[in-house]
Amino acid sequence: MKPKYLFLAIFILLGLIWAIISQLPDGKLHIFFCDVGQGDAIYIRMPNNADLLVDGGTPDNKVLNCLGRNMPFYDRTLDLVLMTHPQQDHFGGLISVIKRYTIKNFVTAPVYNPISAFDELIAGTNNKNIPVRSVFTGDSIHFGQVTANVLWPQKDWFEQMRAMAQVVPKQKSYLGSNLYEFNKNVDLNIFSIYLHLRYGDFDLLLTGDGDIPLQTQLIRFGIELPQSIEVLKVPHHGSALALLTSTIDQLEPLLSVIEVGKNGYGHPNPTIVESLKKYGQVLRTDQNKTIELVSDGHTWEIKH
């Protein structure tokens, strides 16, 4: 082999080795609030290198770009996908994720959205034989030293809602899991999964679109939110009804992240932003693009 080709081969090999080493587990929690426009998608790589994707943004597949940039290049498997609730700005991109990646588990609330895109999502999970289960208050998901506790929806409340609406299981259901279609006057945001993720001293609260009506139900059922957390994913893109004042005062987030894009809804609401700034920094994906946080369970930082 000519020297110049030998040097090129060595250079490529060293680059490949560096790329692999740089993406090996580092014992830290990596959280990426993906810039997916007016939608939600959060990719989390655990200290043990397990993967969690919370929501998938809109159907324009920007979530695929986020995963492609931030997942290890050799990893095409997501250990868990969690869909907070079945609205298209949260599940739209998951349709393509299901096609492109191997998904070990899928969790959500058992709520049906009667639109064709949601039927496509259901068909995708069924065709790939992805196990889907519903989660409720008190359920926990463990990723080594990281624990994700489900705070909402509460199961008794869900059954009350189902009884009042007189809904029946849909024929189009996940494998082994019934879905329920509610009346059109029931806001799907109220079914959003609240997920409290803990790694040592680091606390993150993920909220989907669970705004004031949901928080009112938390109070009704005596469900306590964590106090003085490090990071809050602000509900419902920072809408005017995103947070009760009492919720903000309970959480006291040092960092509030708003996943938002160009929109005609006035998101995020300036009053909400100012209320959050009393306790810490506010970052927005429309201004800061994809936001990466890293924690070793004691300290944490925003990566730039």
Q: Is residue 134 part of a domain?
A: yes
What pLDDT score does 13 carry?
A: 53
Q: Is residue 82 part of a domain?
A: yes
List of residues 6+ apart from 251 with CB closer than 8 A: 205, 225, 226, 227, 228, 229, 232, 279
What pLDDT score does 19 carry?
A: 47
Domain tally for the chain? 1
Q: Is residue 220 part of a domain?
A: yes
State the CATH number of the domain containing residue 60: 3.60.15.10
Q: Is residue 20 part of a domain?
A: no
Q: What is the pLDDT along the chain (304 residues), one digit of tens a residue?
A: 556 555 555 555 554 554 455 555 688 999 999 999 999 999 999 999 999 999 999 999 899 999 999 999 999 999 999 999 999 999 999 999 999 999 999 999 999 999 999 999 999 999 999 999 999 999 999 999 999 999 999 999 999 999 988 787 887 889 878 899 998 899 999 999 999 999 999 999 999 999 999 999 999 999 999 999 999 999 999 999 999 999 999 999 999 999 999 999 999 999 999 999 999 999 999 999 999 999 999 999 999 7
Q: Is residue 205 part of a domain?
A: yes
Question: Which structural domain range is residue 116 located in?
Answer: 27-303
CB 108 within 8 A of CB 82: yes
Rounded-to-integer distance, Cα 272 and Cα 48, Å: 36
Rounded-to-integer distance, Cα 110 and Cα 113, Å: 10
Rounded-to-integer distance, Cα 108 and Cα 134, Å: 5
Q: Is residue 8 part of a domain?
A: no
Q: What is the pTM of this model?
A: 0.92
Q: Is residue 271 part of a domain?
A: yes
Closest by CA to 189, choosing from 285, 12, 291, 55, is 55
Q: Is residue 203 part of a domain?
A: yes
Instruction: Give me the amino acid identity at 103.
Output: I
